[in-house]
Structure 1
Amino acid sequence: MPPAKKRTRSYDSAKIRAAVLAQFGNVREAVVGLTAEQLALPTALGDWTVRELVSHLAMAVESVNRTIELSAELSTQQPAPTPVLPLLRWPFVTADLAPDISRDVKEVAASASPDELFERTAGRIAALLPATPDDRMITTRVGAMRLGDFLVTRTIELIVHTDDLNQAVAGLGVPYDRQALAACTRLLADALAVKAPGASTEVRIPPYAVVQCVEGPRHTRGTPPNVVETDPLTWIRLATGRTTWREALDAAHVSASGERADLGGLLPLMR
């Protein structure tokens, strides 16, 4: 994948911070009521149980705490790391981390109950995040990033895995924070435009995102000849491999018109 050339969308810092905390809170509230039987249920994520999935959700936010603490330690020893990972590159560099993440998840899930993990993480982020600016350079698993950019990636982790949790536990119904869902949708839509640059196809994900992509004749006025439209959760499932293009079409969860409107060969964007 070549370096991203698309101009990065700007995100409102206060809204992103509030969204991450709100979605984390939504999951935490649901996790408190899970029974031992529910925690032992399987998920669609390989051999992960619900217990391991909710541990990963806690880890997605705990990683913010760890990177903030590490950046504070490094700032007293050496210059801040050079930013090497633009936000729009993040969706394309996470797949290789899966084995390490799975190992860490299993260790964390075995070390403490979900309630303990969420309580500890909530207390730490409440103390660390307000005092740390968005332009603080942090070291993540995939390289140096701005804290503000890393927080946007947390909306993907939280929304995608909240959906996984809702799919695994019937009737759980963890709500999706609107701002977190919007940021997740937009970043994954922009990632599609990076992967397939062009302006022949318009992808609409109301009410959050519209992007143009795919090489071909550029459309400038009137109704675009190639249009794809879907809802945010279907888009997120397509972009992360939770459902396939054909499944979404057959279920009428996505509409596609025009000879360049078939996105099946471009999806998923990340796994």
Structure 2
Amino acid sequence: MPPSQKRARRYDPARTRSAVLAQFGNVREAVGTLSAEQLDLPTRLGDWTVRELAAHLVMAVESVSRHLDESAQPPETSAGSTGGQREITVLEWAATTGPAAGRIAEDTRGIAASVTTEQLFDRAAARIAERLPAAADDLLLPGRVGAMRLGDYLVTRCVELVVHTDDLNHATGLKVPYDRQALATCTRLLADALAAKAPGASTEVRIPPYAVVQCIEGPRHTRGTPPNVVETDPLTWIRLATGRTEWTAALEDAQVTASGERADLSELLPVMS
């Protein structure tokens, strides 16, 4: 049975850790080949340059080390060093990233202007290699939108790294590879976020080979071919779910197939911004 909002998906902590490190390594190697002119190219992320996008990719990983450092500080409240924050799930994180976008953009520009891109990647790689191995998966970390367990927070890092690797490839023409586990994790979380946003079982969304979810209220499907089916590939789904690709354009370009009266997802996208 496809996972739904009624049963939270579980992610293997060891695989997630490896995926974060592998994808960050892929990005680091690729960015190291870029010239100063290429780093100044525009991206599809507003007025961000490739240099700022690269800095944001570093931030996605550096935040793990930073939050680990914060969690190690002497507790100041009854909730420990999380500052009394409510603990949130990965699905809640996906639904609450929008309001933090302004602060994230400001921090990104500040970091990009502080040191060279190579120094940023080298520092982040050294810090996470030092801090992550000894950290417990159930350690509660403070965050921008709420406290999260380390294992869950690393799932969100897979999403950040995969989504912005695609942005980097789009801006530069690079072909930075996607770690299979990182791509699978990102695809699954964004699919589950759709199911949580539009609970139901009338429509089946298939993203082979990584995810199948049911969503949207209506007649429940029990056997045989569902009456409402959406199918696409992982990268197209990720672009749809994050607003990089419009639903209509994906249909017109045959990147998505949709059949049934409840197979139009346009009003539900993006699921994360």
Shorter-chain TM band:
over 0.9
Separation (CA, whole Å) in 2 of partners of 1:55 and 1:7: 35
How much has 1:84 moved relative to structure 2? Answer: 2.1
Q: 1:253 aligns with which of 235, 252, 255?
A: 255
Separation (CA, whole Å) in 2 of partners of 1:148 and 1:74: 22
Q: 1:181 aligns with which of 171, 180, 183?
A: 183
Say yes or no: does 1:160 pair with 2:163: yes
In the superposition, the TM-score normalised over structure 2's length comes to 0.95
The answer to whether the 8 Å contact 1:192/1:213 transfers is yes
**In the alignment, what sits opposite 2:134?**
131
**In the alignment, what sits opposite 2:73?**
73
Query: What amino acid is aligned across from residue 105 of structure 1 in structure 2?
Result: T
Separation (CA, whole Å) in 1 of partners of 2:68 and 2:121: 18
How much has 1:6 moved relative to structure 2? Answer: 3.1
Q: 2:114 aligns with which of 111, 114, 119?
A: 111
**In the alignment, what sits opposite 1:85?**
88
Q: Write out the 4+ residue segments of structure 1 that deviate beyond 4 Å after TM superposition.
A: 75-79
Alignment of 1:100-249 (within 5 A): 100-170=103-173, 172-249=174-251
User: Deviation per CA, 1:192-211, whole angstroms, max 9, x where unpaired?
Assistant: 00000000000000000000
Separation (CA, whole Å) in 2 of partners of 1:173 and 1:114: 19
User: Deviation per CA, 1:36-85, whole angstroms, max 9, x where unpaired?
Assistant: 01000000001100000000000000000000000011458865346521
How much has 1:90 moved relative to structure 2? Answer: 0.7
Separation (CA, whole Å) in 2 of partners of 1:77 and 1:246: 49
Separation (CA, whole Å) in 1 of partners of 2:56 and 2:6: 31
Separation (CA, whole Å) in 1 of partners of 2:249 and 2:36: 33
* DSSP 3-state at the match of 2:106: helix
C-alpha RMSD of the superposition: 1.4
User: Which sections of structure 2, spanning at least 5 residues, go unmatched?
Assistant: none
User: Which sections of structure 1, spanning at least 5 residues, go unmatched?
Assistant: none
Q: Give identity over the alignment, percent.
A: 66
In the superposition, the TM-score normalised over structure 1's length comes to 0.96
Query: What amino acid is aligned across from residue 121 of structure 1 in structure 2?
Result: A
The answer to whether the 8 Å contact 2:162/2:183 transfers is yes
* DSSP 3-state at the match of 1:111: coil
The answer to whether the 8 Å contact 2:158/2:185 transfers is yes
Equivalenced residue count is: 267
User: Deviation per CA, 1:106-155, whole angstroms, max 9, x where unpaired?
Assistant: 00000011110010000000010011011000001111111110100001
**In the alignment, what sits opposite 1:30?**
30
Separation (CA, whole Å) in 1 of partners of 2:91 and 2:103: 22
**In the alignment, what sits opposite 1:11?**
11
* DSSP 3-state at the match of 1:63: helix
The answer to whether the 8 Å contact 1:19/1:180 transfers is yes
